[in-house]
């Protein structure tokens, strides 16, 4: 079985490629560069040169595959709305190549879209199409394809981590380094869900193998770690002060990160574990934060 993986040389995509190859699949990986193509070939995968904004290259890759795992996303948050719209177009383009078949496509979304209200634990069986989060565009594209008979499933992500990267915590580490203080908002009780990258990669493969149209899965190992605990772990690692920031000062201190650190992003994976028999086994987030070599800037790499 040949799987087309977008973002194949990225942080999560590369882990999924290795998981697929280890599980006996053939992999066709999307890459923009000759260097990326060489990496894929060295791993034992095939390379498909293209880009997530090159609709023809996406259709071409999809047409050659028995299934698709779509993880590529432009994480430039200064263009977040535009990037979410581009993701919708990418999903629609790949989905168009699957019409009339049972071939699965797994798309990536954010765990926070499963929260019925701010501060509530996000769940797999909830989606608010009127959410203010622009990332909803990906799930709206999936719903359109499902109505057209395409076999689409959704994997929602929290903060995906190892000792090199930790989702939104990576820029938090860089900010703490720049300001000389590790901060949190208010009492620091907003919680962020998390998953180790190895567990997330396994879940994507399980979701593809399940081939259940319309399913939403949460790659969540830890429902929610308080931001105060995250800030304290960063402070210990860097040997810098840890202090609260008033909500009114959050934008000034955190910049573009302010809306994220000011909100609870906890999520459940109870239904996912039941449906896919998925059990996370990787290190916990705070454990990975303890293992970072802050002096070498390991937490800075985005």
The stretch 138-158 carries a mean pLDDT of 96
pLDDT tier, 298 (very low <50, low <70, confident <90, very high otherwise): very low
Query: Would you state the structure tokens that stand for residue 212, as one six-digit string?
Result: 């259940």
Does the pLDDT at position 157 exceed 90?
yes
Which CATH superfamily includes the segment(s) 2-160+195-220? NAD(P)-binding Rossmann-like Domain (3.40.50.720)
Give the integer Cα–Cα distance in Å for 107 and 274: 20
> Which tens digits make up the pLDDT trace of 50-62?
999 999 999 999 9
Query: Would you state the structure tokens that stand for residue 93, as one six-digit string?
Result: 């383009």
pLDDT at 293: 87
Domain residue extents for the chain = 2-160+195-220, 161-193+223-268+275-300
- Percent of the chain topping pLDDT 70: 98
Asked whether this chain's domains 2-160+195-220 and 161-193+223-268+275-300 adopt the same fold, the reply is: no
> Which tens digits make up the pLDDT trace of 167-214?
999 999 999 999 999 999 999 999 999 999 999 999 999 999 999 999
CA distances 154 to 51, 87, 150, 179, Å, are: 21, 13, 13, 37
pLDDT at 297: 59
Which residues touch 283 (CB under 8 Å, ≥6 apart)? 162, 196, 291
The stretch 243-261 carries a mean pLDDT of 96
Give the integer Cα–Cα distance in Å for 159 and 232: 17
CATH classification (class only), 161-193+223-268+275-300: alpha beta
* Burial of residue 128 (number of CB atoms within 10 Å: 0-12, 13-18, 19+): middle
CA distances 16 to 21, 95, 197, Å, are: 9, 20, 9
CB 165 within 8 A of CB 294: no
Task: Tell me what the pLDDT averaged over the chain comes to.
Answer: 95
Closest to 298 (Cα-Cα) out of 174, 180, 179: 174
> Which tens digits make up the pLDDT trace of 4-54?
999 999 999 999 999 999 999 999 999 999 999 999 999 999 999 999 999
Order the strands of the 67-70 sheet from edge to edge: 46-49, 26-31, 2-6, 67-70, 104-110, 151-157, 216-218
Give the integer Cα–Cα distance in Å for 221 and 37: 32
pLDDT tier, 300 (very low <50, low <70, confident <90, very high otherwise): very low
pLDDT at 302: 32
Identify the residue whose tokens are 């590529």: 72
């Amino acid at each position: 079985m040949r799987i087309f993986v977008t973002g194949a040389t990225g942080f999560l995509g590369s882990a999924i490629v290795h998981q697929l190859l280890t599980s006996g699949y053939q992999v066709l990986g999307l890459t923009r560069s000759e260097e990326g193509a060489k990496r894929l070939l060295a791993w034992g995968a095939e390379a498909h040169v293209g880009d997530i904004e090159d609709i023809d290259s996406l259709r071409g890759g999809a047409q050659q595959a028995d299934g698709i795992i779509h993880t590529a996303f432009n994480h430039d948050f200064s263009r977040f709305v535009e990037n979410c719209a581009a993701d919708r177009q990418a999903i629609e383009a790949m989905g168009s190549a699957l019409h009339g078949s049972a071939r699965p496509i797994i798309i990536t979304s954010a765990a926070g879209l499963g929260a019925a209200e701010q501060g509530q634990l996000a769940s797999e069986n909830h989606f608010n199409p009127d959410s203010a989060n622009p990332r909803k565009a990906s799930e709206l594209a999936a719903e359109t394809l499902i109505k057209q008979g395409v076999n689409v499933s959704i994997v929602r992500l929290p903060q995906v981590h190892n000792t090199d990267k930790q989702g939104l915590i990576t820029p938090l580490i860089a900010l703490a380094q720049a300001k000389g203080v590790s901060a949190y908002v208010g009492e620091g009780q907003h919680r962020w869900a998390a998953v180790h990258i190895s567990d997330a990669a396994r879940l994507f493969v399980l979701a593809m193998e399940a081939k259940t149209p319309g399913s939403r899965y949460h790659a969540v190992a830890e429902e929610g770690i308080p931001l105060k605990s995250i800030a304290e772990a960063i402070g210990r690692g860097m040997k810098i002060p840890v202090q609260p920031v008033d909500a009114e000062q959050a934008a000034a201190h955190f910049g573009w990160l302010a809306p994220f650190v000011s909100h609870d992003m906890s999520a459940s994976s109870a239904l996912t574990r039941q449906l896919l028999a998925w059990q996370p086994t990787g290190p916990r987030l705070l454990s990975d934060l303890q293992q970072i070599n802050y002096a070498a800037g390991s937490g800075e790499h985005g």
